[in-house]
């Protein structure tokens, strides 16, 4: 059954009225600071001739095939390299205080191939732009690479998928979506009668639609590479429905960035808002993000890439991780997520026991959002530990780099476990 436009409009109006009512009650922490410069004013600037050449080259090559100079510019300045929609910082961000004591970088040692490595080795060897570790919501380690500052943004690539999963939870809590078991055609009527006719939201979140897809980042002719040429929501839908079915829905895992973009279209249709607008009103304003951010678009004034390319600061990616750890509870106790959403999101799926709702599942109930070229958001719920890594690897996917990263996270976890004994990092009230 397709919800009527009147029903969707009423839900949208109710949500906007709730935000307005909050403002009238004086709860300013839910509001963007209108007296400050907007994100667009703060982040946009004129390009130098050399930068214009870089942007032209980035546009011609596509983000998957850049040299190091182009890579570093595109990742840090996504808002200068292509169309984006901006997120304005909160005027009262969720606090991330520095813990006492801090984690000593010299205490972080990890083992790789029977040899010990130190943190400095990893940071230098793997082009690390930023590393931040939270324990119980407090910063125990914060590192920025050359030419990076705390308010600089960096592309997250597929870590964005995990934020999209969170936003689906928010949409369910707000009443825009009834259930993950709803068919996607309930919200996108264009999918009715196509290969996606029997596919549910849950199937998209678990990468298990059963529709064929090629996610080869090294092949310029692959399906995922063709997403670079899609400039609108309508083009995306036309591209996605022109696929063949490879397996029944829900039975086979196949990593598919196109379908997470499609999931973004579903979320936009359900809420009546662009993804950036919905994230602004909930995550950025209500949870409280410290810095301006942007989300890359398919084309000028078009929808965001649902499966890619939120561009935010290191600290705000850490806040997204802490939001997951705390089940989406804001500082004043407001719940952004349905009860048990994160637990549901991190349950093994039928098609892949190592994948949940756009989260990679690890041992000991740990889970992660992970993006190409070394972007990573690691969450350890038991320790309330969040590790964020922003990078510029030479390759989109590298098993060697990933093994180093996982070994380093193990070393960080070991060092953080007993940091300061029981006096460190008590849970914030």
Confirm whether pTM is higher than 0.85.
Answer: yes
In the prediction, which pLDDT does 420 show? 63
Structure tokens at 358: 């756009």
Instruction: Parse the chain into domains and list their residue ranges.
Output: 5-175+261-423
Task: Tell me how far apart the alpha carbons of residues 170 and 185 are, in angstroms, rounded to a whole number.
Answer: 20
Look up the CATH superfamily of 5-175+261-423. DD-peptidase/beta-lactamase superfamily (3.40.710.10)
Residue by residue, DSSP assigns 14-82 as: HHHHHHHHHHHTT-GGGSB-TTSPPHHHHH--PPPHHHHHHHHHHHHH-GGG--HHHHHHHHH-HHHHS
Other C-beta atoms lying within 10 Å of the C-beta of residue 191: 21
In the prediction, which pLDDT does 28 show? 33
In the prediction, which pLDDT does 425 show? 60
pLDDT by residue for the chain (429 residues), tens digit each?
434 444 444 444 444 433 333 333 333 333 444 434 799 999 999 999 999 999 999 999 999 999 999 999 999 999 999 999 999 999 999 999 999 999 999 999 999 998 999 999 999 999 999 999 999 999 999 999 989 999 999 999 999 999 999 999 999 999 999 999 999 999 999 999 999 999 999 999 999 999 999 999 999 999 999 998 999 999 999 999 999 999 999 999 999 999 999 999 999 999 999 999 999 999 999 999 999 999 999 999 899 999 999 999 999 999 999 999 999 999 999 999 999 999 999 999 999 999 999 999 999 999 999 999 999 999 999 999 999 999 999 999 999 999 999 999 999 999 999 886 444 565 443
Task: Tell me how far apart the alpha carbons of residues 23 and 253 are, in angstroms, rounded to a whole number.
Answer: 44
């Amino acid at each position: 059954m397709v919800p009527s436009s009147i029903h969707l409009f009423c839900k949208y109006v109710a949500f906007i009225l709730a935000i307005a009512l909050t403002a009238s009650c004086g709860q300013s922490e839910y509001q963007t600071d209108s007296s400050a410069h907007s994100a667009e004013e703060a982040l946009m600037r004129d390009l130098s001739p050399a930068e214009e050449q870089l942007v032209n080259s980035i546009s011609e090559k596509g983000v998957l095939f850049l040299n190091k100079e182009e890579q570093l510019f595109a990742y840090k300045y996504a808002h200068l390299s292509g169309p984006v929609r901006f997120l304005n910082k909160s005027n009262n961000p969720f606090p991330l205080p520095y813990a006492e004591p801090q984690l000593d970088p010299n205490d972080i040692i990890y083992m790789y191939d029977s040899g010990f490595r130190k943190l400095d080795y990893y940071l230098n060897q793997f082009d690390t732009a930023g590393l931040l570790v939270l324990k119980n919501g407090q910063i125990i380690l914060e590192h920025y690479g050359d030419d990076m500052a705390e308010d600089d943004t960096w592309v997250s690539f597929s870590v964005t998928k995990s934020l999209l999963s969170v936003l689906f939870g928010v949409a369910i809590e707000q009443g825009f979506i009834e259930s993950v078991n709803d068919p996607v055609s309930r919200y996108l009527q264009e999918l009715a009668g196509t290969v996606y006719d029997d596919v549910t939201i849950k199937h998209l979140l678990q990468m298990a639609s059963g529709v064929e897809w090629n996610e080869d980042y090294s092949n310029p002719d692959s399906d995922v590479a063709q997403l670079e040429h899609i400039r609108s929501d309508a083009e995306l839908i036309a591209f996605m429905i022109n696929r063949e079915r490879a397996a029944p829905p829900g039975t086979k895992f196949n990593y598919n960035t196109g379908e997470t973009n499609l999931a973004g279209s579903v979320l936009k249709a359900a809420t009546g808002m662009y993804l950036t607008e919905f994230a602004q009103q909930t995550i950025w304003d209500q949870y409280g993000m410290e810095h301006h951010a942007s989300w890359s678009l398919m084309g000028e004034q078009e929808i965001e890439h649902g499966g890619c390319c939120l561009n935010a600061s290191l600290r705000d990616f850490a806040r997204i991780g802490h939001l997951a750890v705390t089940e989406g509870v804001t500082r004043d106790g407001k719940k952004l997520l349905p009860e048990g959403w994160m637990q549901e999101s991190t349950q093994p799926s039928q098609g892949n026991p190592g994948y949940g709702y756009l989260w990679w599942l690890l041992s000991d109930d740990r889970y992660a959002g992970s993006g190409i070229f070394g972007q990573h958001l690691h969450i350890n719920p038991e320790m309330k530990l969040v590790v964020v890594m922003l990078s510029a690897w030479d390759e989109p996917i590298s098993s060697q780099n990933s093994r180093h990263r996982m070994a380093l996270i193990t070393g960080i976890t070991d060092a953080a476990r007993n940091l300061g004994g029981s006096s460190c990092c008590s849970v914030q009230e």
